[in-house]
Amino acid sequence: MTQIRHFLDLSDAGGDPIATMIGDAVTRKSARVSSPKGQPDSDQPLQGRVLAMVFEKNSTRTRVSFDMAMRQLGGSALILDSASSQLGRGESIADTARVLSRMADAIMLRTDDHAKIEEMARHASVPVINGLTDRSHPCQIVADLLTIVEHGKALPGLEVAWFGDGNNVLHSILEAAGLLKFNVRVATPAGYEPEVEFIEMARAGGAQVTLTQDALAAAKDADVIVTDTWISMGQAHAEEKLAAMAPYQVNEALMAQAKPDAIFLHCLPAHIGDEVNETVFEGAQSVVFDEAENRIHGQKSVLLWSFGLLD
Ligand code: CP
Ligand code: NVA
């Protein structure tokens, strides 16, 4: 039997296929610049295919971008949320995986617990795609890499600087760094560093990873400045954490340290006045809405890879 192409993390695809994904996304995006958003791409490679999306957490971008990606590839998508499906009444992930595999051609899951998506993949007979877990957010990083590349920056040797919480999004950036050979400076307060496993993964792939508590030093001559919410979904709102994060806000003083052509990324939703101030968020170096749009184009590549149509 051909191996099912689950996309639980970026390493499931690997560096070369991710580079191919980015290239394909650039091509498809440019080919449909003047098309209405719901018009399918001319080749409709996923005609007749259905993606089942399961959400255990809120979403705007992931939900809409997967739906639009499927439409543009000629397929369609449907949405379940845990509260209104039998998952919310205790039906197992294993049974849900087997049922959805009989009814849909691929499954996307957003869940609070990475173990659940691993369980889903173990029992599914169709590709399972990670739409965010507590551990990682690989689809976001495909869009981020696409955004970086389309803003004229080559990935090998790139200096990416992260500020704030060592969270799921940072984990996937670190994983990408090892696969695509860029460097990551991580500026977090003590106790909020990313998991060691992801730092080691990046370094094993040849990326340089620097951990520091000095935000200005991390920003020095960086090509890309990135941050995310200080309190991720499912985490308790803690005043102590917010206070520890305050020196890591992305603001003009921090951006002034980076290269003059540095870009600012944020996966959104943003909390203006916390992890980023309004001047930077709305400023000329901010490409956050290109990044949000690129969720569609990046995910089209992820879907094509999962269906074995991109290598
Ligand atoms: N960036 C992102 O995943 O956004 P949503 O939570 O809106 O899907
Ligand atoms: N780190 C954030 C990302 C949201 C897209 C969270 O997990 O809530």
Q: Hey, what amino acid is at 151? A: H
Q: Is the CB of 168 under 6 A from ligand 2?
A: yes
Could you tell me the maximum CA-CA distance found in the chain, to the nearest angstrom?
Answer: 56
Q: Is the CB of 306 under 6 A from ligand 1?
A: no
Residues identified as active-site: 110, 137, 140, 228, 267, 295
Q: Of ligand 1's atoms, which has the minimum distance to the CA of residue 60? A: 7
Q: Is the CB of 271 under 6 A from ligand 2?
A: no
Mean pLDDT along residues 108-124: 98
- 40 touches 296 (CB < 8 A): no
Domain boundaries along the sequence of the chain? 10-137+295-306, 152-286
Q: How does pLDDT run across 63-101, given as a tens digit for each residue?
A: 999 999 999 999 999 999 988 999 999 999 999 999 999
Question: Rounded distance, CA 276 to CA 290, Å?
Answer: 17
| pLDDT above 90 for 2 | no
Q: Of ligand 2's atoms, which has the minimum distance to the CA of residue 228? A: 1
CA angle (283 as vertex; 279, 286 as ends), nearest 5: 120
Q: How does pLDDT run across 10-41, given as a tens digit for each residue?
A: 999 999 999 999 999 999 999 999 999 999 99
Q: Which fold has domain 152-286?
A: Rossmann fold (3.40.50)
Superfamily the domain 10-137+295-306 falls into: Aspartate/ornithine carbamoyltransferase (3.40.50.1370)
Q: How does pLDDT run across 168-223, given as a tens digit for each residue?
A: 999 999 999 999 999 999 999 999 999 999 999 999 999 999 999 999 999 999 99
10-137+295-306 with 152-286: one CATH topology? yes
Question: What tokens does 38 get?
Answer: 């719901």
- Report the run of H or E that residue 176 belongs to, with start and end: helix 168-180
